[in-house]
Each structure stands twice: as structure tokens, then as C-alpha cells.
Structure 1
């Protein structure tokens, strides 16, 4: 699940750690790419990862990740700008929870935040939720919660048809729902949902209603939803006929979520 980022500002070569700007974290943050091989079981229509370019031959290395993070934090400390970093996002050019080394990375990033005295910097794991049942993912989520981190799970649809179309997958939406519920019963989660126009057509009212019902089901079955983030794309992707959904439409979805599902909602 690719982090929503733009504009790296590093002055050193990097393979998996970079300083970026994030809309969703509202400012400067550090992105950790756990899947430089670009392998992902989704093909979201709005994904901006260029999969036509060959992926690096090297696999993800915790040692390189640790060294790059240390170098970046040390530089920011010298520049006295550590307090400007809003968050560290564990994401990737694929699904980060598919990385079996994720628990180690979570522990090392949490330790670095403590060592550099960054108590207000958010630690966020961004996932599409499909691997949440694995022992590696369960261990990672537990470590995230011990460190006070947030788990953001993608949910872009209420129906299987819409999920197939938007996320480019035939992964069963009911299975995904069960995994989200299980993760939410273990601790707080954030649902991260992207809505957009496809060739000028917004999601139907039937689809929006199904999405709201699904969020309501997730909550009523025991998941602790800290927040639902209702988002759209940052810029038009003309090649695929995708354009941002307007704020009025996003706000209407947010209102339905608050009224019918009883959850806290943010709009971006």
C-alpha cells in the first residue's frame, strides 16, 4: 500500500527511507518502503507507483533501513528540524504487511523515535488489510500498539464489484471485512477510504450506502474504529480518466458515516 507522499528532500542516496510530504499526515514525514520489489496483490486504479519500471534486484534489508533512518534523523537533528516531522509512515510500493521483517522494523523505528525524543511524531502503518491474519502481521500490530502507533487499513468499497474495479483485485470483500474486524477487536484501527470520479462518474448512491453499511457492520461486530478518513486523489490522473471527488460529495459520505455508522470522520 503506497504511502501518499510527494517530493523527497534527501541529500543522501536511499533505498527504503526518504523524507517526504504527506497530505494525510499534514506535512513533512519520513516514509519507509518495505516493498521495494513493488509486489502488491492490489492494482488500485489511483496508485502512482510506476510498475513498468524494473524493481531493484536487492530485497528489503533491515540493516540498510536502520542505517538510512539513522542518517536522516541525525541530519534533521543537526538542522534542528526534528520537531517538524509529523510522522513516520511504514508503507511501501506494495503491501507492507507481506514483508516478514516488518516486526523488526517496527521495533527499530519505535526505538529510534524514543532515542531522538520525538514523542509527538506519529508512527503509522498503512496496509490494505489482506495479510492481517498472518503471524508476522499480528506481531507487527501488537508492536505498533505497544509503541503508541496507528494502524491504517484501506477500505475503498462496500461491494465486491466496486472493490474489483477500484482496487484491481478479486480478493473477497467479506474476507477483508473479517480481517479488519479481527484487527479492530485487538485494538484501535483507522479506516482509510479513497473515493474518486471514474471518467466523470462518481460512486453511485447504492455503492456509498453499501460502504456505510459495511463500516457500520465492522463497528457493531466489535472493531474499535478510532477514525474513518474519507479521501480523494490529490490530482487528476488523466490517462485513466480519474478525477478527485469534490468536497461536497466527500462531506456527504462523511455525514452518512457519522449519522448511520456512529464513527468519527475526517475529510481530505
Structure 2
């Protein structure tokens, strides 16, 4: 089967159905700096959070459904075969991005809510072995399921296949409601889950910054965010660094018209503040 994308890939188009598959989709990723093969364990558009900047259409609250593991394995093989031995890169990818960078559990909701999260990681490991690849495998997560043993086991398995976690932390966690992620959080929960993630697998903080109603995050919010990172480091949490990014694609949530991109120089200044506490920062504006 030849996979045909609906349009040439670009950093502003991350449609999950762009290749006509149910679980597997290719993207050109700003943060990856090349082609990332996405795995969508939430084709029902269900997530236990509802981030105001989320680009998922018709997002609903919920968990990942039961996955057809055989179909997922078949789709991943099809995609890898066309990228590794076919003309996918030449026909669907801009010249500057023709590099296969990683396989990423991302998709249309929180991947770790899938009851088959661990099995899906094993499928990725097996596929890489079949194609003689040593790609990085990324889990993009809000960290909410890190108290569960099978999720911890999945992260430890991820670490064995050159994996890393991108742990969502958009603002310093405070007890109570968080506007950005539309979720009630407890700071101690986030601290515990972040420490567990870093213990199981190399972990990056993933942070999206933007203006709301024309107002950028306040100085107090920035101080709280940087201080939180510093406190985790002081407590012995081994963080790989921070993936700091802004709005590249429009939100599909009800708050969309209230959000706007932060200026590049503002983002660069924040990156320097984070570097000053000893963390590597990869900035995508």
C-alpha cells in the first residue's frame, strides 16, 4: 500500500488524518527539526485535560479507547517502509526537513490514558528492530497518569529504546483551577509525578507560552515558573531541559480568539532566565 498525504507536510499542519491512517501520522516538527511519526492513541478526540491552545477539533473530556493493536502495527510498518525504502521524503516533505527524527506518542489526547499504552510501546520497539532503526521515541504527556504502575513501566521501557518524556508544564502549578490547561491541579501531585517521570525516563519540561487577551504572563507568573523548576532541581529531580515554544497553529478551543503569540524577544528573554538556573532550553517560536 502506498501512503499518500493529503498535502505536503509543513510545521503548521499536524492533521492526524493527513496520511489517511487511523493511528499513525507524519508531521514536520519544529521541535524535532525533521519528520516525526506520530502515534495517536486517542482517535476518539478524548483527553482528560482541555488546554486552551489545543489544536484538536471536537475535543471531549475522556480517556483513550481500546486500540486495534494489529492495525496500529500494520500502519506503523506501512509508514516506516515508505519513509525508509520509498519516496515519501522526496514527494511529501520539504527539502530542509527530509530527516526522520523520531516516533512520538502524541495524538488527539493524553496517550497514557490508553489501556494499551505499554503494548503500544512494545510495538514501536519491535518495528524499529524490524527496520534496523535507532530512532528516539518520545512520549508527549501531561503527566496525569504517572501514579499508575503500568504507566511507570511504560516509561522505563521507553528509556530502554532511546526514549524521552516531554512533560507538559505550562505554568507553575498551584492548588486549584488552572486556566491554561482547564484542570484542577495540586502542586504536590505535579511534583510527585514529575519526579517519577524523571526517575523512569529522561524527561524534558514542555512549556507553551502565549498572550491571553493581549496580556503576556505576568512577572509574578514567570518568577513562580522559573522558581518551580529550580526547586525541582534542588530536590534532586534530574531534568534534561526545557522545550519552550509559542503558538504556531491556531487553537480550536473556545478561547482561540483570546490567544496570541508572544513576541520572539520576550520568548528569548524567558529562555535566558531558564538557562540561568542551569537548564538547557530549546526554543521554538
Same fold (TM over 0.5): yes
Aligned to 2:72: 65
Q: Give the superposition deviation at 1:248.
A: 1.2
Question: 1:26 and 2:33 equivalent?
Answer: yes
Aligned to 1:266: 282
TM-score (norm 2): 0.83
The structure showing larger relative contact order (alpha-carbon pairs under 8 Å, at least 6 residues apart) is 2
Q: How does 1:250-265 map to 2 (within 5 A)?
A: 250-259=267-276, 261-265=277-281
Q: Is the 8 A contact 2:111 2:141 kept in 1?
A: yes
- Against the structure 1 CA distance between its residues 107 and 164, is the aligned structure 2 distance closer, same or farther, given a 3 Å change threshold? same
Q: Give the superposition deviation at 1:159.
A: 4.2
Aligned to 1:200: 214
Q: Matched residues in 1 for 2:12 and 2:31: separation?
A: 9
Gaps spanning 5+ residues in structure 1: where? Answer: none
Question: 1:101 and 2:112 equivalent?
Answer: no
Q: How does 1:216-235 map to 2 (within 5 A)?
A: 216-235=230-249
Q: Is the 8 A contact 1:184 1:222 kept in 2?
A: no
Q: SS of the residue aligned with 1:20? A: strand
Q: SS of the residue aligned with 2:244? A: strand
Higher helix share: 1
- Against the structure 1 CA distance between its residues 170 and 10, is the aligned structure 2 distance closer, same or farther, given a 3 Å change threshold? closer
Choose which of 16, 22, 37 in structure 2 pairs with 1:15.
22
Q: Matched residues in 2 for 1:73 and 1:92: separation?
A: 18
Which stretch shows the higher mean deviation, 213-222 or 229-238? 229-238
Q: SS of the residue aligned with 1:167? A: coil
Q: Is the 8 A contact 1:17 1:32 kept in 2?
A: yes
C-alpha RMSD over aligned residues: 2.6
Gaps spanning 5+ residues in structure 2: where? Answer: 1-10, 90-97
* Length, aligned pairs only: 261
Choose which of 258, 266, 269 in structure 2 pairs with 1:241.
258
